[in-house]
Homo-oligomer: A and B are copies of this chain.
Amino acid sequence: MSVLIVGSTALDSIKTPKAENPRLLGGSASHAAVAASFFAPVRLVGVVGEDFPRRYVKLYQRHGIDLEGLQFAAGRTFHWSGEYEVDMNRRRTLATELGVFERFSPDLPAAYRDTPYVLLANIAPALQHHVLDQMRRPRFVMADTMDLWLNTALDDLLRLLKRIDCLVLNDSEARQLTGEDNVIVAARRIRRMGPRYVIVKKGEHGSLLCGPEGWFLCPAWPLEKLVDPTGAGDSFAGALMGTLAAGRGSPERALRRGMLYGAVVASFCCEGFGLKRTDRLTREEIDARFEQLRAMARV
């Protein structure tokens, strides 16, 4: 089955202590879509401007991503520029030029409205609502978010929580959303706000799932060579949704496998700038690391 992915499609200029890479393909939807494409057919909804390089369109196409929902608008592509510190867990935004993204309205092609799996990657909650308004009874909806929306669009986000099956967010966002320092308690509280499942991402410390069947504690790949963490969370969510769409078994079991696949693709993402490493990935590499990671967590 297919996955619909809606989010930002951007150009990222990324500085780390070791290198500088201008105008890489980035954005939540780009990372999620490429990650999901290893597992299931992907439909992408986003917007790019006239400066969007042709080679990035080809990159999407190389991964078999359906681009009927990708809007080409007059103006410049959303451009984010950021810098990572020596401690790569800390980054600061140098510039955010919204460009055509400022007036983005995620209007779905008719063919997309029946997609069974929907990933609302990180965009404004109002746009996430707009996508759901156009869908016909999707089977599983997962939404990502960020601290910006907790600060500026909390009401929209709280309403969204009642319309989705799963919220994925990072630990600091879970704390901010609930005002609760303990992430375990925070995850339980978010479940009471609506979604059947809550996934808290903890970066190098893995992720955890809180659902009706209890907890799943998902490890992270022990990464020795962190090049650029940009897009790791989006890759995690994309791979997870891709495996669900391709999946078998109970939802709980599928989510566990999906999170482990998400951890694997996210780890590859961190091994290169932007989408460079993910773009070269093969399903064989993913499956091999999946089995290794599973073995590392086995008691």
Contacts and interface: CB of A to CB of B under 8 A. Distances in A.
Given A215-B222, A296-B214, A181 B87 contact: yes
Contact of A86 (B181, B256, B296, B298): B181
Contact of A299 (B208, B223, B260): B260
A217 B214 contact: no
A182 to B, nearest CB: 6
A297 interface: yes
Contacts of A188: 224
A257 interface: yes
Nearest to A215: B296
Interface in A72-105: 86-87
User: Which of A202, A226, A298 counts the most chain B CB atoms within 10 A?
Assistant: A298
A247 to B, nearest CB: 13
A217 B219 contact: yes
A218 B299 CA distance: 9
Interface string A199-238: 0001001101000001111111011101000000000000
Contact of A217 (B181, B222, B226): B222
B224 A184 contact: yes
A220 to B, nearest CB: 8
A184 B298 contact: no
Contacts of A293: 217
User: Which of A181, A205, A226, A257 counts the most chain B CB atoms within 10 A?
Assistant: A205
B257 A185 contact: no
A294 interface: yes
Given A205-B206, A222-B208, A217 B184 contact: no
A233 B297 CA distance: 20
Nearest to A295: B214
User: Which of A184, A188, A293 counts the most chain B CB atoms within 10 A?
Assistant: A184
A202 B204 CA distance: 11
Contacts of A208: 222
Interface in A246-260: 256-257, 260
Interface string A259-299: 01000000000000000000000000000000001101111
B256 A299 contact: yes
A154 to B, nearest CB: 24
A4 B293 CA distance: 34
User: Which of A214, A223, A296, A299 counts the most chain B CB atoms within 10 A?
Assistant: A299
Given A188-B224, A217-B296, A256-B299, 6 more contacts: A86-B181, A87-B181, A185-B224, A206-B219, A215-B296, A297-B297
17 contacts: A86-B181, A87-B181, A182-B224, A185-B224, A202-B205, A208-B222, A214-B296, A215-B222, A215-B296, A217-B219, A217-B220, A217-B297, A218-B299, A256-B298, A256-B299, A260-B299, A297-B297
